[in-house]
């Protein structure tokens, strides 16, 4: 089977948080658009299965087990991409964690630490090593997953909201710093998207999920593929003059 052509043809892309939800959808979408994908997360069994499924479509795929909270593991994932495929052209830093839906004063330090370590330090760890590899390769594109919670607040998720605002700050800073080095850095801000994270939020009250979806402008949650398509476009050369931007993929939620 010949490898697929497309806007990401010939590009080597690292995708974190690839074992489920938006990241797993991105593995398929990026590969369909021609990329060689390196899938990273902590659950090896899922990554192995997903890489196999992608290879069955004719695309190239490998995986690296990595906890993005650890700089050494982030470095190794980048090194695996470069070592196996020769370079790193793009990265989708999508790994993320949520907090239980609770008022700020009822959340504990562990919830705060988990989202800050995963969502902020994780993006920091990955970007540092990705930028090093991209500088060596002459350029690249990075997309970080923020959230509508990085643009506007909602109740009962304060540390998550803070972490996703920080992702946008890191994105803008890196975009400005590396624009002259041909590295573009953007963020996406998904609205409610069907995934394990959202299933967990609504686990205690299944009706709450459907009610929340119906209250949105499009009266539905996003499919993970719709979010992944936006990240793929930002990683492609079709977005060559887009850097430092945060693109809402929220069905109109933040336009309200």
Catalytic residues: 160
What x-and-dash track marks residues 1-30 binding ligand NAP by CB under 6 A? ---------------xxxxxxxx-------
Q: Which is nearer to ligand NAP, 3 or 254 (CB)?
A: 254
Q: DSSP secondary structure string, 181-219?
A: GTEEEEEEEE-SB-SHHHHHHTTT-HHHHHHHHHTSTTS
CA distances to 77, 117, 127 from 71, in Å: 10, 11, 10
List strand residue ranges (DSSP E) for 57-106, in order.
61-65, 90-93
Q: Does 196 bind ligand NAP (CB under 6 A)?
A: yes
Contact 4, 34 (CB under 8 A): yes
CB of residue 2 to ligand NAP, shortest distance in Å? 29
> Which distant-in-sequence residues (6+ apart) come within 8 Å of 196 by Cβ?
20, 21
Q: Does 230 bind ligand NAP (CB under 6 A)?
A: no
Q: Does 220 bind ligand NAP (CB under 6 A)?
A: no
CB of residue 1 to ligand NAP, shortest distance in Å? 27
Total number of residues binding ligand NAP (CB under 6 A)? 29
User: Which residues here bind ligand NAP, judged by CB under 6 A?
Assistant: 16-23, 41-43, 66-69, 94-97, 118, 145, 147, 190, 192-193, 195-198
């Amino acid at each position: 089977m010949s490898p697929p052509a497309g806007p990401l043809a010939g590009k080597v892309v690292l995708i974190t948080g690839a074992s489920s939800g938006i990241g797993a959808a991105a593995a398929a979408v990026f590969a369909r658009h021609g990329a060689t994908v390196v899938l990273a997360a902590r659950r090896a069994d899922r990554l192995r299965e997903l890489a196999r499924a992608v290879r069955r479509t004719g695309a190239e795929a490998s995986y690296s087990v990595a906890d993005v909270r650890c700089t050494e593991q982030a470095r190794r994932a980048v090194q695996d991409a470069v070592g196996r495929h020769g370079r790193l052209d793009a990265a989708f830093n999508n790994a993320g964690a949520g907090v239980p839906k609770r008022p700020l004063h009822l959340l504990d330090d562990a919830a705060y630490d988990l989202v800050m370590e995963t969502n902020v330090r994780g993006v920091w760890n990955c970007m540092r090593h990705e930028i090093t590899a991209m500088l060596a390769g002459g350029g690249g594109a990075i997309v970080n997953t923020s959230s509508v919670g990085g643009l506007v607040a909602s109740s009962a998720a304060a540390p998550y909201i803070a972490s996703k605002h920080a992702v946008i700050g890191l994105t803008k800073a890196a975009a400005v710093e590396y624009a002259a080095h041909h590295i573009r850095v953007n963020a996406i801000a998904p609205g409610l998207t069907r995934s394990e994270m959202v299933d967990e939020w609504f686990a205690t009250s299944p009706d709450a999920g459907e009610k929340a979806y119906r209250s949105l402008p499009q009266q539905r949650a996003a499919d993970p593929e719709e979010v992944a398509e936006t990240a793929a476009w930002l990683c492609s050369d079709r977005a060559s003059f887009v850097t430092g931007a945060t693109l809402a993929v929220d069905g109109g939620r933040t336009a309200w």
